[in-house]
Copies of this chain bind each other. A is one copy, B any other.
C-alpha cells in the first residue's frame, strides 16, 4: 500500500481503533498518539486501545486517547507491530484492517499493510501519512512523533538514522516540539544509582582475547546494595560492547533461583546468535541472549566454552 492509498483508507473510513505492540516503546506509542490526534482533528472518531504494559515513561502521550477493548472502534489499525504474536493480550483475535510498520520482518498479518523497511522509525511513515491527509500538526502530536523517531534511532545516533529521519525531526521541531526537555528525559540523564553501577562494572570488567571480548558481571546482591530499579538496568547489555576495542560485550546478570541471564552484543566479526545457541539461547547476529542455571563462576566458564565453540579463543 502506498502513502496515498493509506490516506484514502483513512478518508473513506471512520471509528478507528489504533493498537500498539507488546512492551510498548517510544515508536509504537508516539505513532499511536499522533495518528489518533490527527484523525480526531480531521473529524474522525478514533481511539488508542489500552495497552496494559505501557510504562510511565511513555503513558503521558496517550492521555485522553485510550479506550478499553469494549470501547474500541470497528476499524483496527496497528502501528509498529511486526507480527500478530506481538499484539497485546487484549488485542488478540482482533481483525486488523491495516498495519503501518517499518519492520522488514513484518509477517503480513493484517488485511492491508503500509510497510517501509527503509525507515528507521514507524514515526517517519505516520508523519508522511498525516502530511498526506493534511492533518494539522500541533506541538503535542509533533512531540509524540519526535519521541517515536528519536527513541528508535538513539537520538539520531544509531546506524539506521537517515537524512529523512533528520528532516522529519526538523519539521517536528518547527511544529513546536519541546525537544530539549524530551531529549534530556529520554537520553541525557542517568540516575546516580546507574552511574554507581557503571562505576562498579568498569572496575570489575574482565577482558578476554586481548581485549576483543569484555565481560561484565552483575551479582544479585548489587541490586539491593545500590538500590537499583528496573529503569536503572535499561539497555545495560550495551555497556561492555561500548568499551573501545571490544568486539563482543558480555553481560551476565545473576537472577533469583540460581539462574544466570547472558546478554551478548557483537560487531560483525562474531555471531552473537551462534554463541548463545551453545547455551540454549538465540537472537540476532549482533544481539543475542540466553538464560541458564549456574553460579556466576560456572557461568563464566560456560560462556568461555561457547565462544570457543564458535572459534573465538578466549
For the complex, give the distance between the alpha carbons of A196 and B189 in Å: 19
Q: Which residues of B contact A164 (CB under 8 A)?
A: 170
Chain B residues near A267: list those with CB within 8 A.
Answer: 184
Q: Are A170 and B166 in contact (CB under 8 A)?
A: yes
Q: Which residue of B lies closest to A169 (CB)?
A: B166
> Who on chain B is nearest to A166 by CB?
B170
Closest B residue, CB atoms, query A195:
B202
The answer to whether A242 and B202 touch across the interface, beta carbons within 8 angstroms, is no
- Consensus secondary structure, chain A interface: helix
Task: Please determine whether B159 and A242 come into contact, CB atoms closer than 8 angstroms.
Answer: no
Partner of A198, one of B162, B167, B187, B198: B198
Contacts of A244 in B (CB 8 A): 189-192
In the assembled complex, which residues on chain B have CB atoms less than 8 Å from the CB atom of A313?
Answer: none
Q: Which of B162, B171, B188, B199 contacts A202 (CB 8 A)?
A: B199
Q: CB-CB < 8 A to A199: which residues of B?
A: 198-200, 202-203
A242 lies within 8 A of B190 (CB): yes
A9 contacts partner chain B, Cβ-Cβ < 8 Å: no
Q: Would you give the shortest CB distance from A303 to chain B, in whole angstroms? A: 20
A243 within 8 A of B: yes
Judged by a CB distance under 8 angstroms, whether A158 is at the interface is yes
- Is A157 a contact partner of B192 (Cβ separation < 8 A)? no
Structural contact, B157 and A242, CB atoms closer than 8 A: no
Q: Which segment of A36-44, A91-99, A172-180, A293-301 sits at the interface?
A: A172-180
Given contacts A163-B170, A190-B244, A199-B199, 4 further A-B contacts (CB under 8 A): A157-B187, A161-B179, A167-B170, A190-B243
What are 7 contact pairs spanning A and B, CB under 8 A?
A154-B188, A161-B179, A164-B170, A189-B242, A190-B242, A192-B205, A199-B199
